[in-house]
């Protein structure tokens, strides 16, 4: 990685950290992009060279996260069932420290525009993950998604969102993975 790329990543990290501090203390909607730029030590114009919107600061690169899940899914044993493989692959998302994860989850609960943007970005994950789940079901991926594979991926992502929301409503108490497992079990065995 060259110096230019390292500098770009450092500025993006500074912007993200400054924004999160402001979002936690003031709330997402009450924080302006000018405040974020000032807190990060960049001009408002420079801020938008690094991020597209306030929502993008919080959501980060969700496509890259989806690709990480896909990579983990492809590494799962071929004989593993689709639900088990998808559940295990989603574990790559466990990277945020609990306090940051709780702050993010709470922001999604309290900010409808942020929640909608996350859902929009998460829908792209269907296109990434459905073909791999289709293969795990012993079928050939095609131009039109396999309904079973599509339903499995959509349900697993809904369970992930539900678990995160419930965990946030509990103030971060308990284990979010256990809540996710409970949600998956309910969907699979209801």
Please report which residue ranges of 52-146 form alpha helices under DSSP H.
Answer: 54-59, 62-75, 82-89, 98-110, 112-136
pLDDT in the model for residue 96:
76
Q: CA of 93: how far to CAs of 38, 71, 100, 116, 117, in Å?
A: 30, 12, 13, 20, 18
Structural domains in the chain, CATH included, are 3-57 (1.10.10.60), 61-189 (1.10.357.10)
CB-based contact 139:149 (threshold 8 Å): yes
| pLDDT tens-place values along the chain, 190 residues long | 789 888 888 998 899 899 989 998 998 999 999 999 999 999 999 999 988 888 888 887 787 889 999 999 999 999 999 999 999 999 988 877 888 888 888 998 889 988 888 888 888 899 999 999 999 999 999 888 899 999 999 999 999 999 999 999 999 999 899 999 999 999 998 7
- 3-state DSSP assignment of residue 81: coil
Which pLDDT score is estimated for 164?
Answer: 92
CA distances 59 to 63, 74, 101, 174, Å, are 10, 24, 12, 24
Helix and strand counts by DSSP (H, E) for the chain: 10, 0
Q: What is the pLDDT of residue 160?
A: 93
Can you give the pTM of this predicted structure?
0.84
């Amino acid at each position: 990685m060259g110096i230019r790329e390292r500098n770009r990543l450092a500025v993006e990290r500074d912007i993200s950290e400054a924004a999160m501090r402001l979002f936690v203390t003031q709330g997402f909607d009450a924080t302006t992009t000018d405040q974020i730029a000032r807190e990060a030590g960049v001009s408002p114009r420079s801020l938008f060279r690094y991020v597209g919107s306030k929502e993008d600061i919080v959501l980060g690169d969700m496509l890259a996260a989806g690709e990480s899940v896909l990579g983990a899914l492809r590494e799962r044993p071929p004989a593993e069932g689709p639900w088990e493989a998808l559940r295990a692959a989603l574990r790559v998302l466990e990277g945020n420290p609990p306090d940051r994860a709780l702050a993010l989850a709470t922001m999604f609960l309290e900010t409808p525009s942020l929640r909608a943007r996350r859902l929009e970005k998460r829908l792209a994950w269907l296109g990434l993950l459905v073909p791999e789940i289709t293969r795990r079901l012993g079928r050939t991926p095609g131009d039109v998604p396999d309904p079973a594979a599509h339903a499995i991926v959509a349900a697993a992502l809904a369970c992930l969102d539900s678990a995160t929301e419930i965990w946030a409503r509990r103030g971060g108490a308990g284990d979010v993975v256990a809540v996710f497992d409970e949600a998956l079990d309910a969907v699979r065995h209801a």
